[in-house]
Amino acid sequence: MKVKICGITNIEDALLCCEYGADAVGFIFYEKSKRHVSFDQAELISKQLPPFIFKVGVFVNEVAEKVNRAAKQIGLNAIQLHGDELPEYIERINYPVIKSFRIDETFDWKTIDTFENCDILFDTFSSDQMGGTGKSFDWNLIPEKLRSRVILSGGITIDKLDFIFSEIKPAAIDLSSSLESLPGKKDIQKVIEFLKLFNELRSNQC
């Protein structure tokens, strides 16, 4: 299982996550997000990261050509889409894509079958936010056949790690707000404690 820490806005937080074993960091380019960063800011941070850290850019209903240009400028490894993007849009992206789906009790799981050209991420549905709600949906809703390939997001906290490792067993987890002292700024102690426990559970899984 991999872990991505999203909502990175500064080099100190990025390096902290890398030091304690995060596999990936995420930059949010959605202007309405409290954790929004510019392409130039992300580029400055990206250039100072260790060579093997995975860098992901989060976009919402952005023009595909702009996404590709930004990814090249910043040095992104993958694109995470949190809007209403369709499979044909994904074909126009020059980088590996993670497509987010916002889940509630009414979600049509057959929708996933039409997205064969990307990885998938499940987040919590909100009527007024595209992501970053800090709330979890009922993870037991996830069909068994999807669990091992999904990236799980939404309301992931340190006290839920045991359940995630023992019951859901996703390919990766993605979190942001539960490790913050305020939007866009990570809490050092929370990051350290979370990643230490995550990596302990991961090592026991091997």
Percent of the chain whose predicted confidence (pLDDT) is above 70 = 95
Q: How far apart are the first and last CA of the chain?
A: 10
Are the beta carbons of 48 and 62 closer than 8 angstroms? no
Spatial distance between the Cα atoms of 131 and 181, rounded to a whole number of angstroms:
18
pLDDT of residue 36: 97
Could you tell me the pLDDT band of residue 205, with boundaries at 50, 70 and 90? confident
Beta bridge partners of 99: 81, 120
Spatial distance between the Cα atoms of 65 and 84, rounded to a whole number of angstroms:
16
Q: Report, as an integer, the average pLDDT of 168-178.
A: 97
| In the predicted structure, residue 57 carries a pLDDT above the cut 60 | yes
pLDDT tens profile 122-142: 999 764 555 556 678 999 999
So where are the chain's domains?
2-205
Catalytic residue among 13, 23, 123, 174: 123
Percent of the chain whose predicted confidence (pLDDT) is above 90 = 91
pLDDT of residue 51: 92
| In the predicted structure, residue 156 carries a pLDDT above the cut 60 | yes
Could you tell me the pLDDT band of residue 168, with boundaries at 50, 70 and 90? very high
pLDDT of residue 91: 96
Beta bridge partners of 57: 27, 79
pLDDT tens profile 26-42: 999 999 999 999 999 99
Catalytic residue among 6, 17, 18, 118: 6
Cα-based distances in Å from 171 to 43, 99, 164: 27, 14, 11
Spatial distance between the Cα atoms of 203 and 126, rounded to a whole number of angstroms:
34
Q: CA neighbours within 13 Å on the CB side: how many for 97?
A: 25
Neighbours of 73 (CB within 10 A): 13
pLDDT of residue 126: 64
CATH 3.20.20.70 fits 2-205, yes or no: yes
Q: Report, as an integer, the average pLDDT of 13-35.
A: 97
φ, ψ for residue 103, nearest 5 deg: -105, 135
Q: Report, as an integer, the average pLDDT of 179-192.
A: 97
**Averaged pLDDT score across all residues of the chain:** 94
- 2-6, 16-20, 201-205, range with the lowest pLDDT: 201-205
Please tell me whether residue 104 adopts helix, strand or coil conformation: coil
Catalytic status, residue 6: yes
Q: Strands 78-81, 54-59: parallel, antiparallel or unpaired by DSSP?
A: parallel
Spatial distance between the Cα atoms of 14 and 136, rounded to a whole number of angstroms:
24
Spatial distance between the Cα atoms of 30 and 176, rounded to a whole number of angstroms:
15
Q: Report, as an integer, the average pLDDT of 57-67.
A: 98
Neighbours of 193 (CB within 10 A): 14
pLDDT of residue 125: 73
Catalytic status, residue 128: no
